[in-house]
A and B are shown apart, each in its own frame.
Chain A
Amino acid sequence: MTNDLDLQSLILESATRILRDSCDPQTVNVAFGDGWKEPLWRDLEESGLTLCWIAEDKGGAGVPLAVGFEVLFVAGRFAIPVPLSETMIAGWLLSAADIPVPEGSITLSSQPSRQSVNVDASGKLSGTVTAVPFAGEADYLAVCAPGEGGPIIALAAMQDCTPATKSSFSGDPKGDVGLDGVIPVASAPMPFEMNEEALLMFGAAARSRQIAGALQAILDLSVSYARERVAFGRPIGKFQAVQHNLARLAGEVAAANAASGSACDTITRAGSFDETVFLEAASAKIRAGEAAGEGAAIAHQVFGAIGFTQEHVLHRYTRRLWGWRDDFGSESEWAEKLGRRVVDAGADELWPMLAAR
């Protein structure tokens, strides 16, 4: 227990240091071009963070899932603009499937349950992988597809694929990737008895954790700004209306934090992707997504015009918050599924379900 905690704080400190040095949102925001990206990725790779979920005997850092999820919270606090979470998730799956994980960044669909990918008899991949974060930028693509004996996971080189150069409004590219008879680098049955639904739950929990981190960052920024910015002869944070807006923002941040933390913890301890994990992952993605929308709006209100400029750092967070809401199931998609499950189980089962833990 103590060891785990020591390990966790060590890793989180190192993640914070790297991101502060190589990915300070303010610096990145005013930088010309993308020159900062490569050193950032190199630092992340060298620290072992990108492969942190891969077992040590397979060349990774062997970090527990729980700690990795907290790395994503930290990544969110820095509005992470590179495919760190995508590489972590893909690397975890690939290595568990005994596929050697290459150097470089790996991405995967943010809509794993909506793929239309076929695998032919020779193992070639065809179809479209939709809504891929960092589609044109990542070095590799991890593809989930239905195989003969169950779902498979395949690793393809991005250069063999056809990414649509669609820019996402989050500030990072996101788009569909076409597969036209792509010969994968490797493929294997999906590990952990995972299927696309389970991957959706895992991705939802991970993305919610990242959202919670970014929300904490905009709370910190907003509170500091409210204490400094003077209007009518006093800091705006002295005005009750502003205080109440910030109190509401704190509530949204707290809800996203608690819901996502609980979901990640649950996945960490769960033996399978069961009903409990479903409730946790769905709730986390719904509540964190709602908080992202509400929270971003409040932060922008607090900052006034300066927060609406290209030069100001706020949009690096808020654009990503808006964009991340759509990854691994939007609030509405999850809510509709959750609502149907509740109704199917029957109204009398609602309280026992909630109170089970």
Chain B
Amino acid sequence: MSSNAEQTLQFDQIRLPPEAQALREEVRTFLAEEVAAGTFDPHSGGQGDDFDRAFSRRVGARGWIGMTWPKKYGGHERTFLERYVLTEEFRIANAPTRGHFIADRQSGPILMKYANEDICMDVLPRICRGECCFCIGMSEPGSGSDLFAARTKAEKTEGGWRINGTKLWTSGAHHADYMIGLFRTSPPTKENRRHGLTQFLVDMTLPGITVNPVPQMTGSLDFNEVVLEDVFIPDSHMLGDVDMAWTQATSELAYERSGPERFLETFYVLVGLARVLEDNPDTRGAEGLGRLVAQLHTLRRMSVSVNGMLQAGKEPVLEGSIVKDLGTAWEQALPARARDLAAFANPQSANIPSFRKQLEHATLIAPKLTIQGGTTEILRGIIARGLGLR
């Protein structure tokens, strides 16, 4: 890992370059037009269904999916900092990115690293056009934090693999065209319990795949159970080396951990709080708001810095994990902090009813923020390893 006790944590001074800020203006204009056209409600706080294929296509047409990827795959070879700005603006606007975000953030990069060239040439350009939605098939009923307990089986057959088992909590599986699935190809060995899992590209239209929605406590239909029965996957769709997934996708890369989506999920609550305090804030409200703004500003500077260091070819792995840990904890705590701070706001404020609604929604979704994509406990273990403790 990248650090030991003698190194300081490093955050290079990165400012968003003019081209990134110019892009921000373009993105804002685009999103304003989409809102005006009724595509989505920016004040929903992400309450609506965030899948909209037509919208994803328009985003793709702008060149805003896979924007850092090589041109030969339909990408645009732009910088991580430009992608950073785009992600921020889409998140702040509560734009419906379900149709492309997962593919853009992690599935595409995994394919580029581990899929054969034919698949890359076939799938990646479609992702970039906003035509290809991905889901992540890692968790199972008996395997969450402990990924290496995965039991869904891939058995070798002629020309490919036969898959049987169940994936769980698979976000967006009901919309997805593909899944990147983690399946058991061999039993673990005595020396290495992580051995024996392999990643595959799974076409979700294949016979034998059933997607059953699992309603969330908010009422949303977002994640699913995916049952795989005798699903045949050709050899060419294996990603990387057989049994070796533990060396591949086991730890996300720093840029998957440290993006602005890791701290902006409940941002609308902060704006709502400022609005409620607008006429004549009490001292406690002003002080509390100021702290939250300072904390968010700091998270943002950390995240921009990590993305800038990645762009410069560095590997701020420890710093990236820290951004996710601090960021998810912050966005999770925000609704409760805002609720306290608004307690003595002018009860006649016309902004209270909409703030209440935002608060209720954010409070309901808050629990997931430190679970999805790896729990706080698992993340802190990773940070401890980076510190040289494990």
Contacts and interface: CB of A to CB of B under 8 A. Distances in A.
Interface string B16-31: 1000000010000000
Contacts of A219: 5, 387
B384 interface: yes
A337 to B, nearest CB: 7
B11 A336 contact: no
B293 interface: yes
Given A262-B301, A280-B297, A335-B289, 7 more contacts: A254-B319, A287-B298, A331-B291, A337-B290, A339-B281, A355-B88, A357-B15
Contacts of B326: 251, 254-255
A248 B271 CA distance: 27
B191 interface: no
B384 A243 contact: yes
B284 to A, nearest CB: 9
Interface string A239-254: 0101110111011011
Interface string A291-335: 000000000000000000000000000000000000000011011
Contact of A258 (B305, B325, B384): B305
A220 B326 CA distance: 20
Contacts of A224: 5
A283 to B, nearest CB: 4
Interface residues of B, number: 58
A261 interface: yes
Interface string B281-294: 10101111111011
A254 to B, nearest CB: 5
Interface stretch (B202-210, B217-225, B272-280): B272-280
5 contacts: A216-B8, A223-B387, A250-B9, A251-B326, A335-B288
Interface stretch (A28-36, A44-52, A191-199, A345-353): A345-353
Interface in B75-116: 85, 88-89, 92
6 shortest interchain CB distances as A-B pairs: A335-B290, A339-B290, A339-B286, A338-B290, A243-B384, A339-B289
Given A279-B297, A336-B286, A350 B389 contact: no
A154 interface: no
B380 A262 contact: no
Contact of A227 (B6, B386, B388): B388
A216 B3 CA distance: 13
A334 B297 CA distance: 14
A115 to B, nearest CB: 23
Given A258-B298, A258-B301, A343-B278, A223 B291 contact: no
A334 B290 CA distance: 8
Nearest to B304: A357
B294 A282 contact: yes
A347 B271 contact: yes
Given A258-B302, A338-B294, A247 B325 contact: yes
Contacts of A244: 377, 380-381, 384
A193 B268 CA distance: 38
A280 B302 CA distance: 13
A247 B380 contact: yes
A243 B381 contact: yes
A20 interface: no
B9 A350 contact: no
Determine which residue in B85, B289, B300, B318 has the highest number of CB atoms from chain A within 10 A of its CB, and name it: B289
B242 to A, nearest CB: 33
B249 interface: no
A246 B16 CA distance: 31
Contacts of A350: 270-271, 274, 293
A258 B386 CA distance: 18
Contact of B389 (A237, A331, A336, A340): A237
Contacts of A94: none
Contact of B286 (A243, A253, A279, A340): A340
A273 B177 CA distance: 53
A96 interface: no
Interface string A261-295: 11001000000000000011011001100100000
Contacts of B190: none
A255 B318 CA distance: 13
A246 B387 contact: yes
A259 B297 contact: yes
B295 A287 contact: yes
A220 B5 contact: yes
B296 interface: yes
A78 to B, nearest CB: 14
B251 to A, nearest CB: 15
B13 interface: yes
